[in-house]
Structure 1
Amino acid sequence: MKKTINLKFTLILLLIGFMIAVQYNSIENPKQRDTRDIWAIRQELAEEKKLHSELLSEIRELDRTMSSYRTLSDFSTGQALRDTVDKLHQKAGTTDIEGPGIIIDILPSAESIAYGIPITSISSDLLTRFVNDVNRFKGIDMEIDGKRYNVLSSIRVINGSTSVNGLNVSTPPFKIKIISQTLADSEKLYNYLLASSIHDDFYLDNLILDIKPPEKGVIIRAWPEKLENLYLNELPKGE
């Protein structure tokens, strides 16, 4: 009799343990189907391959820089370092640049002018979306209403007005300048923006984008703030 009770008790514990294990497994590993179609998957794969290609290009460029340092004399190495610093300053946006690009006028829509609708500062969300849309194209430099935009920049709302780098963006009309690495890249960006749905978002805010054809000599101002070195110190000569 005692053995029978122990056997039943053991079976009940085994059943409870099995049910707990099944429930835990279903929570930890839920069955989710990937409902994306083949084109969405292909697009994501293409974006990953593009990112991989860009990383490989950066690695190759760094390898070439290191190789040039090893083969140069002391004087030439110093010049190479200065050239590298100049390139970094250009990437950081601390120097004026001139190159092929496009100029975009942000204007009030014709309907808002006709009906006397007051135009306020462009919203930070809309400006951020525009910047993110343009940043699909790599190797570009941008100026928003005379304010250099780079990786250090920020778009915020200060006292109810949209600002870039802490400076208020003018109430439209104002200009956005974008410089690309080549004139062909500017053509691609120009055609992309002409067909972009971003126009609808601007129109809903009573604004329009007037995109000028690419030019060879667009000038963008430098980042106004001085970059501070917080961690590196120059060694005394001879050390």
Structure 2
Amino acid sequence: MKKTINWKFTLILLTVGFMTAVQYNSMKNPKERDTRDIWAVRHELAVEKQLHSELLSEIRELDKTIFTYKSLNDENTGKALTETVDKLYSQAGMTNIQGTGIIIKVKPSAESEAFGIPVTDVSPDLLTRFVNEINRFKGLILEIDGKRFTTLSSIRDINGITTVNGLNVSTPPVSMKIISPSFKDSEKLYSYLAASTIHDDFYIDNLILEVGKPERFVEIHGSPEMFENQFLKELPKGE
């Protein structure tokens, strides 16, 4: 009986010792070593902080909406719901928007025209890179070749053709419109894009990015597509 107890105790000690050794080795020699410099880490931290700030803003906006509903009586509830629906339609890009902004044109480069190089479409990767470039600024409303671009939009290659929301993007020249929250924001965006290296990315594909100066009035049309309601159903009156 005593030998059996000693054997079990020895087995437990071996198991604990093996697990401790494995944990120590994994901590001492990690599989992947972080080789980023301090600026790369700071950049990633800044991106995470920006995301955190945007999430807090959305939470505050939702809390404000909830408070509005709770403070209203039955007579004004319908009006509040209508305003919320209109706001959601606007965020989803279903309504026309007017405001200050800039108009950008994508054209074939002069060299490609002089040498007779065939004009190619703007690649999905290049278009996505441009969208990521301007997303450094908050509150922008974007239209690409007459197609409203929102957080629900997609840029894809379908049968060799660049599409936005499943609709074909025209062969350059192509126009893109950007509306900013204010004229000052439009000026900042113009200055940023004028000095951005995104021009080099377009030039490699024999395209040039012509950034127009800020304008007081720019209009962006809403998306003609309507959302389909698949889950919500209207209850009969009285229920």
AA of the residue aligned to 1:144: I
Which range is displaced more, 161-170 or 104-113? Answer: 161-170
RMSD (Å), alpha carbons: 2.8
Q: Which amino acid aligns with 1:229?
A: N
Distance 2:82 2:28 in 1: 55
Deviation track 1:103-144 (CA, whole Å, cap 9, x = no partner) reads 100001111111111111111111111112222222222111
Using the TM superposition, give the Cα deviation of residue 173 of structure 1 relative to its aligned residue in structure 2, in angstroms. 0.3
TM-score, length basis structure 2: 0.85
Q: Tell me the residue number matched to 2:7.
A: none
| Worse-matched range after superposition: 172-181 or 18-27 | 18-27
Distance in 1, matches of 2:95 and 2:102, equals 19
Q: Kindly provide the amino acid, as one letter, of the partner of residue 224 in structure 2.
A: P
**Equivalent position SS for 1:106:** strand
Matched letter for residue 236 of structure 2: P
Matched, 1:168 2:161: no
1:90 paired residue number: 90
Unaligned runs of 5+ in 2: 1-9
Residue of structure 1 in register with 2:200 after alignment: 200
Give the letter for the 1:26 counterpart.
N
- Aligned-partner Cα distance in 1 for 2:88–2:19: 58
**Quick one: distance in 2 between partners of 1:75 and 1:217?**
38
Identity %: 62
Letter in 1 for 2:78: G
Q: CA deviation at 1:178?
A: 1.1
Specify the alignment match of 1:123 in structure 2.
123
Q: 1:124 & 1:33 partners in 2: Cα distance?
A: 33
DSSP-derived class of the 1:50 partner? helix
Deviating more after overlay: 63-72 vs 83-92: 63-72
Which stretches in structure 1 are left out of the alignment for 5+ residues? 1-9
What pairs with 1:212-227 in structure 2 (closer than 5 Å)? 212-227=212-227
For these two proteins, the number of residue pairs brought into alignment is 232
Question: 1:206: how far off?
Answer: 0.3
Provide the residue aligned with 2:4 in structure 1: none
Cα distance in structure 2, aligned partners of 1:73 and 1:20: 63
Deviation digits for residues 177-216 of structure 1 (CA, Å, limit 9, x no counterpart): 1112222222222222112111111000000100011112
Structure 1 Cα separation of the partners of residues 15 and 73 of structure 2: 77
| Amino acid in structure 1 at the alignment position of 2:130 | F
Pairwise mapping of residues 27-106 of structure 1 onto structure 2 (< 5 A)? Answer: 27=26, 30-31=29-30, 34-106=34-106
Structure 1 residue 20: deviation in Å? 8.3
Matched residue type, 2:57: S
Distance in 2 of aligned mates of 1:16 and 1:82: 65
Q: C-alpha distance in 1, partners of 2:79/2:157?
A: 43
CA drift of 1:15 comes to 9.3
CA distance in 2, matches of 1:193, 1:152: 24
Q: Distance in 2 between matches of 1:20 and 1:75?
A: 66
AA at the equivalent of 2:203: Y
Deviation at 1:37?
3.0
How far did 1:171 drift? 0.8
Distance 1:117 1:181 in 2: 39
SS at match of 1:65: helix
Distance in 1 (CA, whole Å) between partners of 2:123 and 2:53 is 35
One-letter amino acid of the counterpart of residue 68, structure 2 = S
